[in-house]
């Protein structure tokens, strides 16, 4: 059978032999492409796609890590601010002592207290306002010194709704009567927060 194949090849003309050689070359090239090159190309494309996927995942993970770092930084900052606020806001046990300190500051300066009346607390979402009605009499310097020292307390105390009566001269000093409301604040207990939340839901 092989002899017959060689006889047929020898009987071919030059152009026919050339055409046959080209056909064999194309066939071999096609076999090489299908068996070797194409799988390699497919594998390369798959590797490129996988690389792109991994790079995208890495970028996403990096973004998540950066956002987490920012979130943790924000949480730490809020915790620091909360700790500072806790130091500045008295708890319920400290309120009477704070009010005594405010009264003591005024008396040491020389103010005359006509009224120092604690009022009912005003409950907010997570804190309570503790108002005290004030009516004091003293010189301009004494009143200014009182407000300055109260403002420098390590607990937050604000003075609202200030009214000033007509000044009058007494013993060579200009005396004035000041009325207002001193307000300090305290954090609510967990039970108070729950009660405040319940009232908010009922509204």
> Percent of the chain beyond pLDDT 70?
56
For the cut 60, the answer to whether the pLDDT of residue 120 exceeds it is yes
Residue 6 vs residue 168, higher pLDDT = 168
Each residue's pLDDT tens digit, 19-68: 655 555 555 555 555 555 555 445 445 555 666 676 777 777 777 767 77
Each residue's pLDDT tens digit, 64-113: 767 777 666 765 665 565 555 555 566 666 778 878 888 898 899 888 88
For the cut 80, the answer to whether the pLDDT of residue 123 exceeds it is yes
Weakest mean pLDDT among 6-15, 87-96, 167-176: 6-15
For the cut 80, the answer to whether the pLDDT of residue 141 exceeds it is yes
Superfamily designation of domain 95-194: Ribosomal protein S6/Translation elongation factor EF1B (3.30.70.60)
CA-CA distances (angstroms) from residue 167 to 58, 116, 147, 175?
A: 74, 21, 18, 6
Kindly report the average pLDDT of the chain as a whole number. 71
For the cut 60, the answer to whether the pLDDT of residue 132 exceeds it is yes
The tally of CA atoms less than 13 A away on the side-chain side of residue 83 is: 6
Domain boundaries, the chain: 1-88, 95-194
Query: Are 134 and 162 in contact, with CB atoms under 8 Å apart?
Result: no
For residues 106-123, average pLDDT = 88
The whole-angstrom separation of Cα 147 and Cα 182 is 10
CB atoms within 10 A of CB 141: 12
Q: Return the pLDDT at 90.
A: 60
The whole-angstrom separation of Cα 133 and Cα 22 is 111
For the cut 70, the answer to whether the pLDDT of residue 162 exceeds it is yes
Query: Are 101 and 125 in contact, with CB atoms under 8 Å apart?
Result: no
């Amino acid at each position: 059978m092989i002899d017959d194949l060689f006889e047929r090849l020898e009987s071919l003309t030059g152009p026919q032999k050339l055409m046959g050689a080209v056909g064999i070359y194309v066939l071999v090239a096609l076999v090489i492409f299908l068996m070797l090159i194409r799988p390699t190309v497919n594998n390369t494309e798959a590797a490129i796609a996988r690389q792109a996927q991994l790079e995208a995942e890495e970028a996403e993970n990096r973004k998540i890590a950066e956002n987490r770092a920012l979130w943790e930084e924000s949480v730490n900052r809020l915790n620091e601010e909360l700790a500072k606020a806790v130091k500045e806001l008295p708890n319920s046990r400290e309120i009477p002592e704070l009010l005594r300190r405010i009264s003591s500051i005024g008396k040491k300066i020389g103010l005359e207290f006509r009224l120092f009346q604690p009022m009912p607390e005003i409950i907010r979402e997570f804190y309570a306002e503790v108002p005290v009605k004030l009516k004091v009499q003293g010189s301009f310097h004494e009143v200014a010194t009182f407000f300055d020292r109260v403002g420098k307390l390590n607990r937050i105390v604000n003075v609202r709704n200030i009214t000033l009566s007509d000044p009058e001269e007494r013993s060579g000093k200009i005396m004035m009567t000041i009325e207002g409301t001193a307000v300090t604040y305290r954090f609510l207990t967990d039970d108070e927060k729950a009660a405040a939340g319940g009232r908010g839901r009922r509204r």
